Amino acid sequence: MSSKHKQQIGWLILVILGLFAASSSVFGEELSEQIMETEEAASSWFLRARWSPYIAGIGIGFLSWLTFLLSNHPLGCSTAYVRTSGMIEQSFKGKETTQKPYYREFAPKIDWEWMLVVGVVIGAFMATFSSGDFSWTLIPSRWSMAFGDAAIPRIIAALFGGVLIGFGSRWTQGCTSGHGISGTLQLAVSSWLAVVCFFIGGIITAMIIFKVLA
């Protein structure tokens, strides 16, 4: 490149910088206000106690896509609880635990699914705390209206329900994440059948608890 061309390019750069500086001085204040308003709106939306289900659905879909892309494995959560129980048992029985047929398939170790569940718990806490919606509640209002404020019945019901959920998710080889998200997006018939049963079972259980037993 000749020195003449270099000089022309230099002048062009100076002109562009001058025009940019001039426009900034004229429109800078207005542009700054617009940026601040956009940032405030985004911050307000991000800190909402309830997000649009469409936005949340898009996020879950994107996460599922990344899961298949990076690990070639479907997104799931219930297996993490199995691995946790295995790690607790392993701390008492040692290598004897890993010899069980079930733990040969699902080794009691910390993997990315286990960390995902930890991230869900931490993320849920951060979201509810940052939105100002955080509170300690032992007895949910709906339960209190139906059965009173006694803590023991609520704890027993929660533990019993948790055991049933754990047993069911292992029996069907998937939970609402494994079947409801990863399975249905692959159009697996078993997953769609499982999701239908999730809703039917949930509706029937809620009717029994809050309409029959209450």
Does 17 fall in a domain? Answer: yes
What was the pLDDT predicted at 75? 85
Structure tokens at 61: 């879909």
Does 4 fall in a domain? Answer: yes
Give burial (CB, 10 Å; 0-12/13-18/19+) of 195.
middle
Cα–Cα distances in angstroms (integers) from residue 16 to residues 22, 38, 207, in the given order: 10, 27, 70
Does 23 fall in a domain? Answer: yes
Does 108 fall in a domain? Answer: no
Domain that holds residue 3: 1-46
Does 137 fall in a domain? Answer: no
Mean pLDDT by 10 residues, the chain (214 residues): 55 52 47 50 65 84 86 86 90 86 87 89 86 82 87 91 88 87 90 92 89 76
What was the pLDDT predicted at 9? 54
Does 181 fall in a domain? Answer: no
What is the number of domains present in the chain?
A: 1
pTM of the model: 0.69
Does 10 fall in a domain? Answer: yes
Find where tokens 């929660």 sit: 158
Distance of CA 20 to the CA centre of its chain: 43
What was the pLDDT predicted at 33? 53
Does 11 fall in a domain? Answer: yes
